[in-house]
């Protein structure tokens, strides 16, 4: 397993200085930096080349994460919006290829946050499957895995459980269609997190980790050792990316609904100390060493 973190732990916006964050997360002991995929379309080829060179020099992998906005919803009932969503995500994948980022993760099969206006789940599901099949052809050509995030009932009506995620991937029926499971969402929806991981098996392509209240792993009540056992049982050897959100404010705080300071009033140095301690704890729990 490789361990990483989303850059947004340190910021209140979905944008960042990724060269700076690459150096920071490597210094803290991580193997992966996860960034906002949409930012790649705002970067010049020179900026992408610089980040690629820095990441290669640091021996750091870069994964890309996005929740497409409603005007780029590939499961929309409006064909024009679906086509715009496919065009948008295709552009992102081409930028990822320049960066050598091979994981596109998120609620790729619809939009995020979901507005819960179209409640015809079978129809939304079918349109999402059709669009992911189209995107999958480009993804396979570029060597990119589409890691479809399973999220809780308050954020989508499409994929809420690992079982639904597996069924969706089977409907897509492409090797690049994988699952992104997230322990925060699983804590809400799954009867047993470890069993859901076992059910996912080889479909699991990416894993987000965080406590049930969005704190760092080890700062709450989730059964990390049991989760680690399940990951080892399925032979999981891919990315384990922290996705903690502990600070109020900005677009991140608004989108994630962080209405109180979960960091204990930590300053920048303390934030680094806390995430480093969490990384040590999680590696022990997941590797069994």
Q: What is the pLDDT of residue 288?
A: 83
pLDDT tens track of the chain, all 289 residues? 999 999 999 999 999 999 999 999 999 999 999 999 999 999 999 999 999 999 999 999 999 999 999 999 999 999 999 999 999 999 999 999 999 999 999 999 999 989 899 999 999 999 999 999 999 999 999 999 999 999 999 999 999 999 999 999 999 999 999 999 999 999 999 999 999 999 999 999 999 999 999 999 999 999 999 999 999 999 999 999 999 999 999 999 999 999 999 999 999 999 999 999 999 999 999 998 7
pLDDT value of position 289: 79
Tokens representing residue 111 in the block: 């939009």
Q: What is the pTM of this model?
A: 0.97
Which residue reads 């639904």 in tokens? Answer: 164
Q: Which CATH number does the domain housing residue 39 bear?
A: 3.20.20.150
Q: Report residue 140 as tokens.
A: 């396979």
DSSP 60: -
Q: How far apart are CA 230 and CA 175, in angstroms?
A: 22
So what's the pLDDT on residue 115? 87
Per-residue pLDDT at 156: 97
The confidence score (pLDDT) of residue 195 equals 98
Tally of domains within the chain: 1
Helix residue spans in the chain (DSSP H): 18-27, 45-58, 79-99, 121-142, 162-172, 183-189, 193-200, 224-233, 250-256, 268-287
User: Which pLDDT value is given to residue 125?
Assistant: 98
β pairing state of 32-36 and 177-182: unpaired
pLDDT of residue 266: 96
Which residues are CB-neighbours of 83 under 8 A, at least 6 positions away?
A: none
Domain that holds residue 148: 2-287
Rounded CA separation 252/245 (Å):
8
Contact 105, 64 (CB under 8 A): yes
Q: Which residues are catalytic?
A: 149, 243
pLDDT for the residue numbered 16: 93
Angle among Cα 71, 125, 234 to the nearest 5 degrees reads 110
């Amino acid at each position: 397993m490789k361990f990483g973190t989303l850059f947004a732990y340190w910021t209140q916006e979905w944008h960042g200085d990724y060269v700076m964050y690459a150096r920071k997360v490597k210094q803290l002991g991580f193997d992966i930096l996860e960034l906002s995929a949409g930012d790649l379309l705002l970067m010049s080829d020179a900026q992408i080349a610089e980040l690629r060179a820095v990441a290669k020099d640091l021996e750091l992998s870069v994964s890309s994460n996005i929740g497409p906005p409603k005007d780029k919803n590939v499961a929309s009932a409006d064909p024009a919006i679906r086509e715009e969503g496919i065009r948008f995500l295709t552009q992102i994948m081409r930028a990822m290829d320049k960066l050598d980022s091979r994981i596109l993760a998120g609620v790729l099969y619809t939009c995020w946050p979901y507005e819960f206006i179209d409640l015809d789940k079978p129809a939304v599901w079918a349109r999402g499957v059709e669009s992911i099949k189209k995107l999958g052809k480009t993804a396979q050509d570029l060597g990119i895995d589409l890691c479809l995030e399973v999220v809780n009932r308050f954020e989508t009506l499409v994929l809420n459980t690992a079982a639904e995620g597996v069924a969706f991937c089977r409907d897509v029926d492409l090797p690049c269609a994988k699952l992104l499971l997230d322990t925060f969402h699983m804590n809400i929806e799954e009867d047993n997190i470890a069993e859901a991981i076992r059910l996912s098996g080889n479909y699991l392509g990416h894993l987000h980790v965080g406590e049930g209240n969005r704190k760092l792993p080890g700062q709450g009540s989730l059964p990390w050792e049991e989760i680690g056992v399940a990951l080892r049982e399925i032979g999981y050897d891919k990315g384990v990316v922290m996705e903690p959100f502990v600070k109020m404010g900005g677009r991140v705080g608004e989108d994630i609904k962080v209405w109180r300071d979960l960091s204990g009033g930590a300053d920048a140095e303390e934030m680094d100390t806390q995430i480093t301690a969490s990384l040590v704890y999680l590696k022990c729990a997941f590797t069994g060493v």
